[in-house]
């Protein structure tokens, strides 16, 4: 019974069980999955937009936010995975752990997932529709062209999520998309022909540049959006569900999971750096250039690499969004239904088997796939504005809660197996990240009115 799973405590263990070995050869390629699917679902258009806007507006000055964010994200996700693999209770979803801190937390997080997840999905479907529309000519359908493309994408996504092996399909698509995007921006950088290595390393200094009138958003807004988009917030929680879909349940998968996460994050770092470098190098040779919407990105690549530039951009935007939209619809629905199952007594029968709740498919299809179509209706905000505002709202709502809860769960023997409790440095790092998350959340909250004015004014 599900209630037994959430009421009984496994016997304490002082040593880590024997680990599932990391495969070799072809098995190594096929075994890597959750980390890459998660990384590519993170990538979406948020990283492309945040990294490109930062590089085009401020050169390398904010590059440190990218590095800090990826390090923080990897550590936070690793901590989430550690809890779901090594807790005392057999919990396989991170919100099961949140319920042990406070019965109200799963309901609160379910509400956050429904709001922030919808905004995130709206950004992804808009990006995918924009990419597909531009790749097919960009002029057909008039002002409703993107909406019609979005309808096609939604139909494909609904078909995909009904497949029995949807996760396997997502794994292979993520591998292909990551290689394609890296190749596209390496080509763009080669065509630009310059790389200021000195400025690159200077950008790793923790500095916020003075405001410039070449950007629609202030540097603190762009820095916060970069940290929020890449360090991650609520989507970090999806890793637990992806691991369970892969069959990785229990402490014996910890070594394989850590390898998988590192391998998954490597292309994320490379792709983000390439986005940033291309934009920064282009800015160096074109004083006064700014990016206010996705078509400015297209113009940048047209000037930088020639007629093929826009094709590379729209291809990357389409791949980035389509590696995010389907898997995150499932991940968000898993989180939301898990929180709902904890919150309502009539739903607790589904704890431990959340996807069997009849509401799961409805939430996935309606809230996270169909309703986001509204972002593609003529008159809706442009892609960059929607991304920055959506990231800000999602970060404010979720990032501080997530980091603090993970700190409390992984630092106590009450919740973790003896061998898995955080060491002193791990607890200290999570405390630091928690403080940063709270500060960033406050800074973003103070900027939200101006963000809305810029995006919707």
Question: What number is the average pLDDT over the span 108-121?
Answer: 88
Question: What number is the average pLDDT over the span 376-403?
Answer: 76
What's 371's domain CATH number?
1.20.1740
Contact 388, 451 (CB under 8 A): yes
DSSP designation for 287: T
Contact 49, 286 (CB under 8 A): no
Give 372's pLDDT tier (boundaries 50, 70, 90): very high
Three-state secondary-structure class, residue 416: strand
**Residue 4 forms part of a structural domain:** no
For residue 173, pLDDT over 60 is answered with yes
Q: What are phi and psi of 43, to 5 degrees?
A: -55, -55
Q: What is the pLDDT of residue 367?
A: 94
Question: In terms of Cα–Cα distance, which of 57, 59, 312, 53 is closest to 188?
Answer: 312
Three-state secondary-structure class, residue 26: helix
Give 3's pLDDT tier (boundaries 50, 70, 90): very low
Average pLDDT, the chain: 79
Q: What is the pLDDT of residue 4?
A: 41
Question: In terms of Cα–Cα distance, which of 273, 390, 280, 377 is closest to 324?
Answer: 390
Domain limits at 240?
Answer: 51-202+217-456
Other beta carbons within 10 angstroms of residue 358's beta carbon come to 8
**Residue 46 forms part of a structural domain:** no
For residue 199, pLDDT over 80 is answered with yes
Segment of 121-125, 171-175, 414-418, 435-439 carrying the highest mean pLDDT: 414-418
For residue 259, pLDDT over 80 is answered with yes
**Residue 30 forms part of a structural domain:** no
**Residue 225 forms part of a structural domain:** yes
Segment of 6-10, 85-89, 282-286 carrying the highest mean pLDDT: 85-89
**Residue 392 forms part of a structural domain:** yes
**Residue 22 forms part of a structural domain:** no
Quote the CA–CA distance of 420 and 423 in Å, as a whole number.
Answer: 9
Contact 78, 235 (CB under 8 A): no
Residue 93 CA to its chain's centroid (Å): 18
Number of domains in the chain: 1
DSSP designation for 368: I
**Residue 242 forms part of a structural domain:** yes
Q: What is the pLDDT of residue 96?
A: 92
Quote the CA–CA distance of 134 and 149 in Å, as a whole number.
Answer: 10
HEC sequence for 328-340: HHHHHHHHHHHHH
Question: What number is the average pLDDT over the span 190-201?
Answer: 87
Question: What number is the average pLDDT over the span 222-228?
Answer: 56
CA dihedral 361, 362, 365, 370 (to 10 degrees): 180
Residue 155 token pair: 């139909």
Question: In terms of Cα–Cα distance, which of 198, 269, 202, 243 is closest to 42?
Answer: 269
The predicted-structure confidence for 333-345, as pLDDT tens digits, reads as follows: 989 999 999 999 9
Contact 454, 217 (CB under 8 A): yes
**Residue 102 forms part of a structural domain:** yes
Q: Which residue has the higher pLDDT, 260 or 292?
A: 260
Quote the CA–CA distance of 321 and 124 in Å, as a whole number.
Answer: 5
Give 39's pLDDT tier (boundaries 50, 70, 90): low
Among 313-327, 341-355, 442-456, the minimum mean pLDDT is found in 442-456
Other beta carbons within 10 angstroms of residue 359's beta carbon come to 15
Quote the CA–CA distance of 438 and 70 in Å, as a whole number.
Answer: 18
């Amino acid at each position: 019974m599900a209630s037994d799973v959430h009421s009984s405590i496994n016997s304490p263990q002082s040593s880590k069980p024997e680990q599932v070995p990391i495969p070799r050869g072809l098995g190594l390629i096929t075994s890597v999955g959750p980390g890459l699917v998660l990384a590519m679902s993170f990538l979406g258009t948020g990283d492309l937009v945040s990294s490109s806007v930062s590089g085009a507006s401020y050169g390398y000055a904010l590059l440190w936010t990218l590095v800090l964010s990826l390090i923080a994200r990897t550590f936070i996700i690793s901590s989430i995975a550690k809890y779901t693999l090594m807790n005392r209770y057999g919990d396989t979803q991170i919100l099961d752990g949140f319920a042990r801190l406070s019965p109200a937390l799963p309901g609160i997080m379910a509400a956050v997932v429904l709001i922030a997840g919808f905004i995130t999905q709206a950004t992804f479907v808009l990006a995918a529709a924009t990419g597909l529309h531009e790749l097919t000519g960009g002029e057909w359908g008039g002002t409703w062209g993107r909406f019609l493309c979005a309808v096609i994408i939604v139909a494909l996504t609904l078909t995909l999520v009904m497949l029995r092996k949807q996760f396997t399909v997502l794994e292979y698509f993520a591998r292909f998309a990551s290689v394609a995007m890296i190749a596209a921006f390496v080509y763009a950088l080669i065509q630009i022909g310059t790389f200021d290595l000195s400025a690159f390393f200077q950008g790793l200094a923790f500095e916020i540049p003075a405001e410039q009138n070449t950007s629609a958003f202030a540097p603190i807004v762009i820095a916060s959006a970069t940290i929020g988009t890449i360090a991650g917030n609520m989507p970090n929680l999806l890793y637990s569900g992806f691991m369970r879909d892969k069959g990785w349940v229990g402490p014996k998968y910890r070594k394989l999971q850590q390898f998988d996460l590192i391998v998954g994050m490597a292309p994320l770092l490379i792709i983000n750096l390439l986005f940033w470098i291309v934009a920064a190098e282009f800015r160096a040779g074109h004083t006064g250039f700014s990016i206010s919407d996705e078509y400015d990105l297209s113009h940048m690549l047209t000037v930088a690499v020639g007629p093929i530039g826009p094709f590379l951009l729209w291809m990357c935007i389409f791949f980035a969004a389509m590696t995010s939209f389907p898997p995150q619809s499932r991940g968000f629905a898993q989180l939301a239904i898990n929180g709902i199952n904890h919150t309502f007594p009539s739903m607790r029968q589904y704890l431990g088997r959340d996807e069997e709740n009849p509401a799961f498919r409805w939430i996935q299809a309606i809230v996270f796939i169909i309703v986001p179509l509204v972002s593609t209706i003529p008159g809706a905000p442009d892609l960059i504005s929607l991304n920055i505002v959506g990231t800000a709202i999602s970060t404010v709502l979720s990032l501080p809660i997530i980091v603090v809860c993970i700190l409390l769960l992984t630092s106590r023997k009450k919740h973790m197996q003896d061998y898995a409790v955080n060491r002193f440095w791990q607890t200290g790092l999570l405390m630091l990240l928690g403080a940063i998350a709270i500060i960033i959340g406050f800074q973003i909250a103070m900027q939200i009115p101006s963000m809305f004015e810029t995006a919707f004014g």
